């Protein structure tokens, strides 16, 4: 009888221990689930702030972009294809063949001065319009032709090279005419943009001070 009671007591102790372990494991799982849920909750509570920051950045980007968005017709110059377009946001109104910069480099061996003949890329605005412009030949024009740079300033001016009109878009760059219309469509300029006489006359009548010029 005593032996039977001893065995029964042992079984009860084992069962009780198992129950305690089960409770501990279950509690641990519940605790882990709670911790994971709390971690997820802590992440989700930061989302509104992140969203607001993203929305603010997007708004600032749109505001900055709006500064470069034209409200009327504008000029687009494709230097790769040597094409100049007068267009709106919806359609191309005119498309003409032009000439842009060679991208070449000239170095003056005497002074080590260096020039790169490239048409600038970016967003510009028409800042000047000249009728019957005279070209003031810079030093590089003489160095390129291996000619002596004149001391007399008046000797620098050429009344024919730029054609009938010149439309400036900053830093001494112009859309102008040319006496070499046979070379239109080829990258042969020193940075300015050349147009044929008839096309330039049309653009001259369309472009205003402040007209956007996009070059790529």
Task: For residues 156 and 150, give the distance between their C-alpha atoms in angstroms, rounded to a whole number.
Answer: 7
Distance CA 215, CA 86 (A): 12
> 181 and 200 in contact (C-beta within 8 Å)?
no
Q: What is the pLDDT of residue 72?
A: 94
Examine the pLDDT at 122 and tell me if it is beyond 80: yes
Residue 15: per-residue pLDDT = 40
Q: Which helix (H) or strand (E) holds 18?
A: helix 2-44
Per-residue pLDDT tens digits for 62-97: 777 777 778 899 999 999 999 999 999 999 999 999
- Stretch 157-169: mean pLDDT: 98
Work out the pLDDT band at 137, boundaries 50, 70, 90.
Answer: very high
- pTM score of the predicted model: 0.71
Q: What would the pLDDT profile of 179-204 be if each residue is shown by its tens digit?
A: 999 999 999 999 999 999 999 999 99
């Amino acid at each position: 009888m005593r032996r039977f009671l001893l065995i029964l007591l042992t079984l009860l102790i084992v069962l009780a221990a198992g129950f305690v372990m089960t409770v501990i494991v279950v509690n641990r799982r519940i605790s882990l689930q709670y911790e994971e849920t709390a971690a997820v909750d802590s992440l989700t509570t930061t989302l509104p702030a992140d969203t607001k920051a993203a929305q603010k950045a997007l708004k600032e980007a749109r505001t900055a972009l709006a500064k470069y968005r034209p409200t009327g017709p504008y000029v687009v110059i494709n230097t790769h294809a040597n094409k100049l377009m007068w267009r709106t946001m919806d359609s191309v109104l005119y498309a003409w063949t032009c000439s842009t910069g060679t991208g070449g480099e000239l170095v003056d061996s005497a002074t080590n001065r260096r020039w790169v003949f490239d048409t600038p890329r970016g967003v510009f605005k028409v800042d000047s319009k000249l009728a019957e412009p005279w070209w003031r030949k810079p030093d590089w024009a003489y160095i390129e032709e291996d000619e002596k740079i004149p001391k007399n300033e008046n000797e620098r001016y050429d009344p024919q090279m730029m054609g009938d009109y010149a439309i400036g878009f900053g830093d001494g760059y112009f859309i102008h005419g040319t006496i070499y219309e046979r070379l239109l469509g080829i990258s042969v300029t020193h940075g300015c943009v050349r147009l044929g006489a008839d096309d330039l006359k049309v653009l001259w009548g369309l472009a205003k001070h402040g007209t956007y010029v996009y070059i790529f």
